A and B are shown apart, each in its own frame.
Chain A
Amino acid sequence: MSKLIGGVLGPVGHGRGGVSVAHNKNTAELPVERMPIPARVVLPMQQHIGAPCVPTVKVGDTVAVGQVIGDTDKFVSAPIHATVSGKVVAVGDVKLANGLITKGITIESDGEMRLFEGLEPPKVTNRQELFAAVRASGLVGLGGAGFPTHVKLNTPPDKKIDTLVINAAECEPYITVDYRECIENSKNIMDGVYTLKELLGIKNVIIAIEDNKPKAFKNLKEIADLDNDRGDEVKLMVLKSRYPQGAEKMMVLSATGRRVPPGKLPADVGCIVMNVGSAAFVARYLATGKPLISRSITVDGSAIANPKNLRVPIGTNIQDIIDYCGGFKADPRKIISGGPMMGVAICDTNAPICKQNNAILAFADRKGTVKRERACIRCGRCVEVCPMGLMPTLIERYARIRDVDGLTHSHTNVCMECGSCAYACPSGRPLVQYMRLAKQVLREEGAK
């Protein structure tokens, strides 16, 4: 185990890119607490990128923890499991935190948390068995995107993968669940890392952590050093704390120096990037056979009475979680599901936590979250900070006049909506919103 120092964010050709955002990791030293079993959970059938699941239970059925209640035969998808034991009381439309309405299953808990019979550690000896097991576990990217992990791992045979990058950057402000994972479950992480490395036949593993988390680094290094006899193929890397260091393409660049071309995936340059929590989950699942039924979230923000890191059953109502944290100490003006840079502002707390949610943040004032919108002064800050080397202000102009040629030539679809441009804009322009509008224009015109 050796230590690499490096990870200057940003492509050399376009300046450094990215922005320095106040970390606000207020909950870093709060151990993850288990929340009591909620009275009911709502489990949407779509908690991932890809095809939605179809309910496999009906109203009145009795279900146990870990039982599959939704699945599909589509490849890009992940099954949904019951996260409490009890009775199915509703199957139908449910509203998600972001306002979307999707099919979901409501389970009333009997408070027993009875495990589903037949949950046992899967037998995994080769790649195919690993993919099948990861799919059965219902795992999706826990870092926020929610891409089914078995799809990510199952790279086409013509793409030679030589590096597994474990993403522990956690560059979003406030969120500390990955950090807590490194502190509390570092053994799981390393187990997961070695299992994945061996089963996937990947030569190098790089675990990347931002330099504002020295304790997490130390912790992982201590455990990793015990395995020195396994060779020097797992490396720990300290990255500069700069947003969006944890974005997949940035991560690949910082960890390996490789650049993922527009429209391509890390696999195209021989890398798989995986969130640190996902790696730890793989180890736990292979040891216990317990699928993805709960997850850690950070609850913080100026309106929350007692900020906490919590482990909650998936499907728990957001309002229940906030109440468990002492409720609001001030009237919330903005509530965010996820981090402040890429999270979604929600309009109703009566919605369930999904697999990919990593934080609930509630703020008592709008100050600092919105800026007065003025005309663009062409200062070029958005161009300077864009980690993808785009020209956001130009794309905004093209989007407003629906100029498809301009949008295409500006490589609009390369944008990952990290929000650096809008963060830096002195004129308070909602650039991410314009980026989404621009992509919408391209979709609409492409469909014609």
Chain B
Amino acid sequence: MAKRLTVSASPHVRSHETTTGIMLDVIIALVPALVMSAVYFGTRALALTAVTVGSAVLCEYLSRKIMKRDNTLGDLSAVVTGLILAFNLPATLPLWMAAIGSVIAIVIVKQMFGGIGQNFVNPAITARIILMMSFPTAMAKWIVPFSSAWSPDAVTAATPMAVLAGVTGGDVSAVEGLPSLTQMLIGAHGGSMGEVCSVALLAGALYLLLRRVISPAIPFSFIGTVAVIMLIAGKGNLQFLAYELLGGGLILGAFFMATDYSTSPINRKGRIIFGIGCGLITAVIRLFGSLPEGVSFSIILMNILVPHIERLTTNKPFGYEKPEKKKEEAQA
């Protein structure tokens, strides 16, 4: 025999799915929303994305190098983190601040905890929250779509969520400054560069669901919980409900960030609990909090609870029966 035989543990066939392939699917799913944000906010949106993705990749490379670990750029997860971070930022944010966001996401949140699969909170969301606290003004400068995000004195506008925060009782018909529902759907309103266009995000989400990259458990329980609470809070006003569901980062958060593998439970039961928890916190912050938007905080809070959720929801093995009979015997 000329060549040596490979001896390895079974199975000797493997599926074609790879980590890189999964991340590539996520990138593909984010492309429509990226294109739409370039339409609304111009080339500034693309420049911002280039900076976050570029610095995320650089951070990943350097931190692996410095820690003398193998290079993990090939799994494309740094690209995904960079993209999602950009989606969470206003298009006008100074580029150096965006780069700081990438450093926080990759170096502190991801690599210092051991790299892909080991971080306990979502890197992009943590970076967004730290940026919000560090640069509150820059992180809340929402410009009107189609005005140039490059110019320092672009017209700014409140986000629909900020407007809605002043609404009580769900009657939205008389509220001034709210975009129309069509505008909400196609994204022609103020907000983070990637969260505005609901249609593009939903198209990407559908792609991920069909490719089975994400399971429907988290997004559906998340959005469903928000919907139920908002229906009650809005006294059944469907218009109010529609604004709540399309506005803010709910769709982006529920489909693309809460579903992050590393920071969400591993089985279906846990995922449903996780999604409901995210929905509850989001709704409570939106209705009662001083912040207009709560998706990021809800996800990060639930991220922290994941180990506890998992402990409560471990799978029971095939054919497992609760050992009740033994107790009865012991009592008898």
Contacts from A to B (Cβ < 8 Å)? 11, 13-15, 19, 21-22, 173, 249, 259-262, 264, 331-336, 340-347, 349, 361, 363, 366, 368-372, 374-381, 383-384, 386-391, 393-394, 409-411, 414, 417, 419, 422-428, 430, 432-433, 436
In the complex, the answer to whether B12 meets A369 with C-beta atoms within 8 Å is yes
Q: Closest 3 CB pairs between A and B?
A: A419-B11, A259-B319, A433-B9
Q: Count the B residues whose beta carbon is within 8 Å of the partner chain — how many?
A: 40
* Measured CA separation A410–B267 after assembly (Å): 14
In the complex, the answer to whether A422 meets B14 with C-beta atoms within 8 Å is yes
* Measured CA separation A391–B321 after assembly (Å): 17
What residues of chain A lie closer than 8 Å to B315, measured between beta carbons?
14, 383, 386, 389-391
What residues of chain A lie closer than 8 Å to B10, measured between beta carbons?
340-345, 417, 419, 422, 432
Candidates A347, A371, A384, A436; contact of B5 at CB < 8 Å: A347
What residues of chain A lie closer than 8 Å to B77, measured between beta carbons?
377
In the complex, the answer to whether B317 meets A262 with C-beta atoms within 8 Å is yes
* Measured CA separation A419–B15 after assembly (Å): 11
Smallest beta-carbon distance B85→chain A, Å: 18
Shortest Cβ distance from A415 into B: residue: B317
In the complex, the answer to whether A378 meets B14 with C-beta atoms within 8 Å is no
What residues of chain A lie closer than 8 Å to B1, measured between beta carbons?
331-332, 349
In the complex, the answer to whether A366 meets B317 with C-beta atoms within 8 Å is no
What residues of chain B lie closer than 8 Å to A342, measured between beta carbons?
10-11
**Most A CB atoms within 10 A — which of B15, B215, B266?**
B15
Chain B stretch 60-90: residues in CB contact (< 8 A) with chain A: 72, 75, 77
Smallest beta-carbon distance B71→chain A, Å: 11
* Measured CA separation A89–B15 after assembly (Å): 47
* Measured CA separation A11–B116 after assembly (Å): 31
What residues of chain B lie closer than 8 Å to A388, measured between beta carbons?
317-318
* Measured CA separation A383–B317 after assembly (Å): 11
- Judge whether B22 is part of the interface by a CB distance below 8 angstroms: yes
- Judge whether B17 is part of the interface by a CB distance below 8 angstroms: yes
Smallest beta-carbon distance A121→chain B, Å: 39
Contacts from B to A (Cβ < 8 Å)? 1-3, 5-15, 17-19, 21-22, 72, 75, 77, 115-118, 215, 261-262, 266-268, 314-321
What residues of chain A lie closer than 8 Å to B7, measured between beta carbons?
334, 345-347
Can you list 25 A-B pairs with a CB-CB distance of less than 8 A?
A15-B268, A249-B318, A259-B318, A260-B319, A333-B6, A340-B11, A345-B5, A345-B9, A346-B7, A366-B6, A369-B6, A375-B72, A376-B117, A377-B19, A377-B22, A377-B262, A378-B261, A383-B267, A384-B267, A389-B316, A390-B317, A394-B266, A394-B314, A422-B11, A423-B15
What residues of chain B lie closer than 8 Å to A369, measured between beta carbons?
6, 8, 12-14
* Measured CA separation A376–B7 after assembly (Å): 23
Smallest beta-carbon distance A328→chain B, Å: 8
What residues of chain B lie closer than 8 Å to A335, measured between beta carbons?
5
**Given the contacts A370-B14, A391-B315, A428-B14, A331 and B2 also touching, CB distance less than 8 Å:** yes
What residues of chain B lie closer than 8 Å to A387, measured between beta carbons?
318
In the complex, the answer to whether B317 meets A389 with C-beta atoms within 8 Å is yes
* Measured CA separation A334–B318 after assembly (Å): 33
What residues of chain A lie closer than 8 Å to B319, measured between beta carbons?
11, 249, 259-262, 264
In the complex, the answer to whether A333 meets B5 with C-beta atoms within 8 Å is yes
**Most B CB atoms within 10 A — which of A19, A375, A422?**
A375
Smallest beta-carbon distance B147→chain A, Å: 40
**Given the contacts A341-B10, A383-B267, A377 and B320 also touching, CB distance less than 8 Å:** no
Shortest Cβ distance from A349 into B: residue: B1
In the complex, the answer to whether A377 meets B261 with C-beta atoms within 8 Å is yes
* Measured CA separation A181–B5 after assembly (Å): 31
In the complex, the answer to whether B13 meets A340 with C-beta atoms within 8 Å is yes
* Measured CA separation A341–B12 after assembly (Å): 6
In the complex, the answer to whether B261 meets A380 with C-beta atoms within 8 Å is yes
In the complex, the answer to whether A426 meets B2 with C-beta atoms within 8 Å is no
Smallest beta-carbon distance B224→chain A, Å: 20
**Given the contacts A262-B317, A378-B261, A173 and B18 also touching, CB distance less than 8 Å:** no
What residues of chain A lie closer than 8 Å to B13, measured between beta carbons?
21-22, 173, 340-341, 368-369, 423
In the complex, the answer to whether A334 meets B320 with C-beta atoms within 8 Å is no
* Measured CA separation A374–B3 after assembly (Å): 26
**Given the contacts A331-B2, A377-B262, A336 and B12 also touching, CB distance less than 8 Å:** yes
What residues of chain B lie closer than 8 Å to A368, measured between beta carbons?
13-14
Smallest beta-carbon distance A399→chain B, Å: 13
In the complex, the answer to whether B320 meets A426 with C-beta atoms within 8 Å is no
Smallest beta-carbon distance B219→chain A, Å: 15
In the complex, the answer to whether A414 meets B5 with C-beta atoms within 8 Å is no
What residues of chain B lie closer than 8 Å to A347, measured between beta carbons?
5, 7
What residues of chain B lie closer than 8 Å to A15, measured between beta carbons?
268
* Measured CA separation A336–B315 after assembly (Å): 33
What residues of chain B lie closer than 8 Å to A19, measured between beta carbons?
15
What residues of chain A lie closer than 8 Å to B17, measured between beta carbons?
381, 424, 426
In the complex, the answer to whether B261 meets A379 with C-beta atoms within 8 Å is yes
Smallest beta-carbon distance B321→chain A, Å: 6
* Measured CA separation A309–B7 after assembly (Å): 24
In the complex, the answer to whether A340 meets B12 with C-beta atoms within 8 Å is yes
In the complex, the answer to whether B11 meets A378 with C-beta atoms within 8 Å is no
Shortest Cβ distance from B214 into A: residue: A379
What residues of chain A lie closer than 8 Å to B316, measured between beta carbons?
13, 389
In the complex, the answer to whether A334 meets B12 with C-beta atoms within 8 Å is yes
* Measured CA separation A381–B267 after assembly (Å): 9
Shortest Cβ distance from B314 into A: residue: A391
Shortest Cβ distance from A250 into B: residue: B318
What residues of chain B lie closer than 8 Å to A264, measured between beta carbons?
319
In the complex, the answer to whether A375 meets B117 with C-beta atoms within 8 Å is yes
Candidates B2, B5, B320; contact of A389 at CB < 8 Å: B320
